[in-house]
Amino acid sequence: MRIDLHTHSDASDGTQSPADLVALAHQAGLDVVALTDHDSAAGWAEATAAARDVGVTLVLGMEISTRHEGAGVHLLAYLPDPADPALGAELGLILAGRTGRLEAMVERLRDGGLDISVAEVLHQVGGAPAIGRPHVADVLVAKGYAADRSDAFTRWLNSGTPGYVSRYATPTREMVRLITGAGGAAVMAHPWGRGSRRVVDLETLALFQAEGLVGIEVDHQDHDAADREELTRLAGEIGLVRTGSSDFHGDGKVDHELGCNLTKPDQLDQLLEAAASNAAASGRAVPEVVRP
Ligand code: AMP
Ligand code: MN
Ligand code: MN
Ligand code: MN
């Protein structure tokens, strides 16, 4: 069983449509793929239809932007009810923060001498609800200001560079509660990826676990072998599910090919059981994965 639980489509900052992503997952020999676009379920319907078509099992999810002690923490939410009003309201705030930041970013880049407009970035976004720095990066690359997305981040978009503007993100504990309350299973994405290492330790994980955190993404390209070993130990110590995933972004991120990291079937089963029990606790029908 090949299971990859973290991917992005062009419903956020990936470069493939949800349908193409699902087809690629099938071609890559995956049995199960989760679609986890940033802060929105916009790609779910298209991915669902495609999964039935090509014959791959699809887990519907999102990757949600949160903040803990000033550091960005990304939470993967599997099978939350997208119609949950509390979760929906909070996602609305995050998306509005993304949209509101764009004008300020473009203004800063223009102050830095770059010829770039909001309209150009919106054209690149193409209607995705989650506007991100990668969309700005793509415009910078197209106009010759950077070699690729990564170069654009290093020169213009990372914190401490001319184009950086921060944005709203939900406090992590609150978002774990909201995901859990919406019948989903919350998993911390790349706990020791860029940015969040400083704040994520055993004590913080226990704090989030008390709110409903179910697992941590151990096998991720941001983690080296030593990180993975240490995170595996932490997960074992407090009983968190341990996942592995690609964080695929299509052509937008090198070295994140579909299936480059995998989740074990028993770990996925535990996530699905947690979602089922959270759904039951909030009076919902058990959320189903999309089976071919
Ligand atoms: P934002 O969502 O606007 O805060 O931008 C963060 C997103 O940018 C992440 O989800 C990554 O997909 C992407 N990203 C961050 N750093 C890089 C990088 N060095 N190269 C390519 N993509 C990046
Ligand atoms: Mn991304
Ligand atoms: Mn992330
Ligand atoms: Mn991601």
Which residue's CA lies nearest to atom 2 of ligand 1? Answer: 132
Cβ neighbours, 10 Å, residue 147? 12
Give 99-126 pLDDT, tens digit per residue. 999 999 999 999 999 999 999 999 999 9
CA of 154, closest atom in ligand 1: 19
Question: Is the shortest distance between the CB of 132 and ligand 1 below 6 Å?
Answer: yes
- Angle between the 133-142 and 118-125 helix axes, to the nearest 10 degrees? 110
Give SS3 for 65.
strand
Cβ pair 169, 178 in contact under 8 A: no
Question: Is the shortest distance between the CB of 18 and ligand 1 below 6 Å?
Answer: no
What pLDDT is recorded for position 70? 92
Give 287's DSSP letter: P
Give 12's DSSP letter: T
Which mutation among 253, 255, 256 tests ligand 1's pocket best, with the greatest number of atoms within 8 A of CB? 253
Question: Average pLDDT for residues 126-141, to the nearest whole number?
Answer: 98
Question: Average pLDDT for residues 192-215, to the nearest whole number?
Answer: 92
Ligand nearest to the CA of 95: 1
Which residue's CA lies nearest to atom 6 of ligand 1? Answer: 133
Q: Tokens at residue 137, please?
A: 């990066």
What pLDDT is recorded for position 292? 87
pLDDT at 198 over 90: no
Structural domains for the chain:
100-157 (1.10.150.650)
CA–CA gap between residue 249 and residue 9 (Å, rounded): 7
pLDDT at 3 over 80: yes
Cβ neighbours, 10 Å, residue 206? 14
What pLDDT is recorded for position 210? 98
pLDDT at 287 over 90: no
Q: In angstroms, what is the span from residue 190 Cα to ligand 3's centroid?
A: 7
pLDDT at 23 over 80: yes
CA–CA gap between residue 36 and residue 20 (Å, rounded): 15
CA–CA gap between residue 216 and residue 244 (Å, rounded): 9
Which residue's CA lies nearest to atom 9 of ligand 1? Answer: 134
Q: Which residues pair with 19 in a beta bridge?
A: none
Closest CA to 66 of 30, 34, 91, 37: 91
CA of 136, closest atom in ligand 1: 3
Question: Average pLDDT for residues 32-61, to the nearest whole number?
Answer: 98
Which residue's CA lies nearest to atom 14 of ligand 1? Answer: 134
Q: In angstroms, what is the span from residue 249 Cα to ligand 2's centroid?
A: 7
Comparing 36-50, 88-102, 196-210, 219-233, the range with the smallest average pLDDT is 196-210
Percent of the chain clearing pLDDT 90 (strictly above): 96
pLDDT at 9 over 90: yes
What pTM does this model have? 0.98
